[in-house]
């Protein structure tokens, strides 16, 4: 497959077309993929931001490492996009993702352009229906992580996600159990798996030319 390096215009146009959704997301599912599409009627909504900015040498995608401070957080310690639960005062899922991103890593909506959204994904473990928002800037950003929410950040080259050597499988110890043969992206030794990897898989699939 050839890589089509995405410009802002290309990303925006592509996100406005029909998206592959489940067809691609399910390839990175750590369990039976159907679990991610059986949305409970009492689900909550959340917005996350897939933020592309300029790194030292090339475009990067920024992730947070969630803290382990909240006993009820089923995703404590995991790598994820910045984002969180939609509140009543959020006028849209995009507004939700932008607000949560500002709160968690100190990046304001004025610092990037929203190019569109990816397919929704249901996280059955926490009962959240997630809307992934794509943000883009050609500038370098400064980040101010909120210590109560963010244990650290990972800024990973976008181009690395097109390297299939970084897509692996391993057994993971998750919530007092072992999950077998979990697909994940290897971020220089850090494991990006689950819903976040499923969202990332859909994004990069849009810019591969079969």
Please tell me the pTM assigned to this model.
0.93
Q: How confident is the model at residue 74 (pLDDT cuts 50, 70, 90)?
A: low
Q: 63 in a domain, yes or no?
A: yes
Tell me how many helices (H) and strands (E) the chain has. Answer: 4, 13
Determine what percent of the chain is predicted with pLDDT higher than 90: 73
Q: 116 in a domain, yes or no?
A: yes
Q: 70 in a domain, yes or no?
A: yes
Q: 114 in a domain, yes or no?
A: yes
* Cα–Cα separations (whole angstroms), residue 18 to 6, 37, 117, 172, 206: 17, 18, 11, 33, 10
Report yes or no: 150 and 105 within 8 Å, Cβ to Cβ.
yes
At a CB cut-off of 8 Å and minimum separation 6, what does 26 contact?
33, 36, 198
CATH number at residue 156: 3.90.79.10
pLDDT tens figures, 154-179: 999 999 998 766 789 988 877 667 88
- Look up the domain containing 126 and give its range: 2-160+192-209
Q: 109 in a domain, yes or no?
A: yes
Number of domains in the chain: 1
Which of 4, 33, 20, 9 is closest to 118 using CA atoms?
Answer: 20
Q: 58 in a domain, yes or no?
A: yes
Q: 90 in a domain, yes or no?
A: yes
Determine what percent of the chain is predicted with pLDDT higher than 70: 90
Write down the pLDDT at residue 103: 97
Q: How confident is the model at residue 132 (pLDDT cuts 50, 70, 90)?
A: very high
Q: Cα Rg for the chain, rounded, in angstroms?
A: 16
Q: 40 in a domain, yes or no?
A: yes
């Amino acid at each position: 497959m050839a890589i089509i390096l995405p410009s802002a215009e290309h990303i925006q146009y592509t996100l406005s077309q029909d998206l592959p959704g489940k067809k691609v997301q399910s390839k990175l599912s750590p369990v039976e993929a159907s679990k991610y599409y059986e949305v409970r009627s009492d689900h909550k909504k959340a917005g996350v931001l897939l933020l592309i900015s300029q790194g030292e040498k090339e475009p990067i995608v920024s992730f947070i490492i969630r803290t382990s401070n909240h006993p009820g957080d089923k995703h404590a310690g995991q790598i994820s996009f910045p984002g969180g639960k939609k509140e009543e005062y959020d006028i849209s899922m995009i507004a939700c993702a932008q607000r949560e991103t500002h709160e968690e890593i100190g990046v304001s909506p004025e610092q990037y352009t929203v190019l569109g959204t990816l397919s929704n994904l249901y996280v059955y473990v926490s009962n959240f229906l997630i809307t992934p928002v794509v943000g883009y800037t050609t500038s370098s950003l400064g980040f101010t992580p909120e210590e109560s929410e963010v244990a650290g950040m990972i800024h990973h080259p976008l181009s690395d996600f097109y390297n299939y050597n970084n897509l692996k499988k391993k057994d993971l110890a998750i919530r007092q159990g072992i999950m077998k043969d979990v697909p994940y992206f290897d971020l220089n030794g850090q494991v990006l798996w689950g819903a976040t990897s499923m969202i990332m898989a859909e994004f990069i699939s849009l810019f591969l030319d079969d």
